[in-house]
Structure 1
Amino acid sequence: MGHRIADSVHLNSSKKVQPFPWGDMPEEEYYRIKKVQNKKERFKSPRGPSLFTQRWLPVDQPPKAIIFMCHGYGNDISWTFQQTAIFFTQMGCGAFAIDLEGHGQSEGLRAYLPNLNDVAKDCQIYFESVKREDDFRGLPCFLYGESLGGALCLLLHFFDPEGWDGAILVAPMCKISDSMWPPWPLPELLKFLAYWAPTWPVVPSKDIVDKSMTDPAKRELSKSNPRRYGGRPRLGTAAELLRATADLTRRLKDVTLPFIVLHGDADTVTDPSVSRALYESAASGDKTLKMYEGARHALLQGESDENVARILEDIAAWLKERVDRKNKY
């Protein structure tokens, strides 16, 4: 289950970072070269916010499965995250993703997440609407989540235990690393203050990008994302993440869907020991754990090209086996 990944870095941090991912190329031309059909839409949450969504579909064949993708805290679906969506599309799958409330191009106060169950419900309603479309009805359905997105995938599974054919969990936020929080008793004080000023962005925290990424050029690329939230966490968001992750840690034994969990053992943002506990505790009869020695939190956006290719190979092999199995019967 443990995998050593290469230490080499292929990108030169002294090079000028180009706008990602298409640089000076028109966006439509980039997708044409990749043989990907991209569509951007707005989805109205029943709670009120207008949420930004994207879909990526292969242009030369109908999709053999659909992947529903959830991004991490402070991130969005339109920067480096979409490279993974394109990867799934080039495997012959359709990929669908939604900017969470307060993130990316969705409405809401920036990076304010007062209730993760509400956020997960938004994702569920959108994903279910896609499932009902004629082109996708009856296809195998998989969840994909990075960091906070991994936690949302587990919430979606708990909402509908039979609704998904599997989940790909990349450094899931089932517990926030202790190194990300100030020492006791400050966290207790912050929880108290969150009741009175939940939107106040004052929680002491190190920059997640600096702690997440091994490759220096990719670190700068991530920081150049114009929609990334790099400010201090809001009191209400921090309190909710603590509550939700504590609840998830208690419910690991209730996970029954097929899953692969991938985590770097040098991750100081989310706790890799909880991914091990998920693998050991889950009731699922089809579960896989991949631990990568020396890797940090951002496995697909922050490691060297060589390491990312290795991790994507593991994801592709797991997904292909289960897609082929579902489509066979």
Structure 2
Amino acid sequence: MTEWWVKYKGTIPSAGLSFPEDDWLDLRSSAGYKLHTYRYPANNPRALIFIFHCLHSATSSYSHFAKKFAEQEFAVFGFDQPGHGRSEGPKGNIRDFDDLVNNGIEFISKTKEHYPDETPAFIIGESMGGTICIDIALRIPTMINGMILLAPALGVNPDLAPFLVKLVRCFAWCWSGMPLKGTDPNLACSNPINAQWWEENPDTYFGRLNAGTGAALLRGFEEVQDQIGNVTTPFILFQGGHDAIVNEQQAREFVKNSKVEDKEYAFYKEMYHAVSNEPQVYEIIDRILEWIQERV
């Protein structure tokens, strides 16, 4: 039987790649859901790198990152949030943004127990995963040596009127499962087959965002916005000029207003939102590796 991903090999960076170790660590959410974990090991790793996926995606979509990192003697880890990828829970649903952050902190803490205390740790997140990374770095700054943010979701798009934000919260209170207006998947990535791959991939969720999930994300964005000035973890932020999902100006303001001195803004004018599947991704991976190596 032909694997579903074969026709995407060569056009979708992660197609045909996988983490060598699945479900290697026992991890459960606060609601008791079993969370699927991944590891790309390295002998005597120079650093530990933790990947946090975007909304409705899965860690498997970042296997091309993990492979490149492991080749440079970095051990790479990830897990699927509840309702995402291969983890348990209602598909595509987020109950509370704090749960996602706490899941990440527990995963990092449990993973670090398997390695020498002095091994540096870096976190990388795309879109929603970037928001989670910032929140984690705010809560456990002494455990994180640096973070890599790929088009992080830093707030509500200014084009979304305050009235609509209130509407989302109202629906979340009275009907959390109400589906919201979907975003055109073709706006997320310049790769013309990205939407088709996303729809066919068994690890991703192609359904519409619901009101409960939307409200949970809004709370997470607000928490990060309120604490931008408290960010002390070194970071590099990658942002595209053709990003129709998150707002570029918010990314620039985050870099400007965060207090840490070791920070970098990497802007790619032609890049869309889904950095992990954009044509520039291999150049970005090389730049990430260089950035980490300078800090190990």
- Please say whether Structure 1 and Structure 2 have the same fold, judged by a TM-score greater than 0.5: yes
CA distance in structure 1 between the partners assigned to 2:162 and 2:118 by the alignment: 50
The partner residue of 1:271 within 236, 239, 247 is 247
CA distance in structure 2 between the partners assigned to 1:227 and 1:110 by the alignment: 10
On the 8 A contact 2:41/2:70 being kept in 1, the answer is yes
On the 8 A contact 1:177/1:268 being kept in 2, the answer is no
CA distance in structure 1 between the partners assigned to 2:266 and 2:211 by the alignment: 33
On the 8 A contact 2:130/2:150 being kept in 1, the answer is yes
On the 8 A contact 2:48/2:76 being kept in 1, the answer is yes
CA distance in structure 2 between the partners assigned to 1:258 and 1:245 by the alignment: 20
CA-CA distance at 1:76 after TM superposition: 0.5
CA-CA distance at 1:22 after TM superposition: 6.1
Does residue 195 (structure 1) correspond to residue 173 (structure 2)? The answer is: yes
The one-letter code sitting in structure 2 at the alignment partner of 1:38 is E
CA-CA distance at 1:72 after TM superposition: 0.5
Instruction: List per-residue Cα deviations over 1:195-216 (Å, max 9, x = no partner).
Output: 1222x14111213x32111021
CA-CA distance at 1:231 after TM superposition: 1.2
User: Taking structure 1 as reference, are residues 195 and 218 closer, same or farther at Cα in structure 2, changes over 3 Å only?
Assistant: closer
CA distance in structure 2 between the partners assigned to 1:271 and 1:176 by the alignment: 8
Larger relative CO (CA 8 A, sep 6+): 1 or 2? 1
CA distance in structure 1 between the partners assigned to 2:162 and 2:110 by the alignment: 44
On the 8 A contact 1:205/1:232 being kept in 2, the answer is yes
**Where do 5+ consecutive residues of structure 1 fail to align?**
1-14, 24-29, 324-329
Does residue 40 (structure 1) correspond to residue 20 (structure 2)? The answer is: no
1:63-212 pair list within 5 angstroms? 63-78=45-60, 80-133=61-114, 135-178=115-158, 181=160, 185-198=163-176, 200-207=177-184, 209-212=185-188
Residue of structure 2 equivalent to 1:5 = none
On the 8 A contact 1:100/1:119 being kept in 2, the answer is yes
Q: Work out the number of aligned pairs and report it.
A: 288
On the 8 A contact 1:49/1:108 being kept in 2, the answer is yes
CA distance in structure 2 between the partners assigned to 1:112 and 1:22 by the alignment: 25
Instruction: List per-residue Cα deviations over 1:204-243 (Å, max 9, x = no partner).
Output: 1213x32111021344333321121111111111011122
The one-letter code sitting in structure 2 at the alignment partner of 1:233 is L
SS in 1 for 2:233: coil
Runs of 4+ in 1 over 6 A off after TM superposition: none
User: Taking structure 1 as reference, are residues 321 and 113 closer, same or farther at Cα in structure 2, changes over 3 Å only?
Assistant: same
SS in 2 for 1:137: coil
User: Taking structure 1 as reference, are residues 311 and 141 closer, same or farther at Cα in structure 2, changes over 3 Å only?
Assistant: same
CA distance in structure 2 between the partners assigned to 1:145 and 1:184 by the alignment: 27
On the 8 A contact 2:29/2:82 being kept in 1, the answer is no
**Where do 5+ consecutive residues of structure 2 fail to align?**
1-5
CA-CA distance at 1:38 after TM superposition: 2.7
On the 8 A contact 1:259/1:288 being kept in 2, the answer is yes
CA-CA distance at 1:52 after TM superposition: 0.5
The one-letter code sitting in structure 2 at the alignment partner of 1:115 is D
Q: TM-score, normalised by structure 2?
A: 0.90
Q: Which of the two has higher C-alpha Rg?
A: 1
CA distance in structure 2 between the partners assigned to 1:118 and 1:136 by the alignment: 27
SS in 2 for 1:72: coil
CA-CA distance at 1:270 after TM superposition: 1.3
On the 8 A contact 1:88/1:95 being kept in 2, the answer is yes
Q: TM-score, normalised by structure 1?
A: 0.81
CA distance in structure 2 between the partners assigned to 1:256 and 1:229 by the alignment: 34
User: Taking structure 1 as reference, are residues 86 and 136 closer, same or farther at Cα in structure 2, changes over 3 Å only?
Assistant: farther
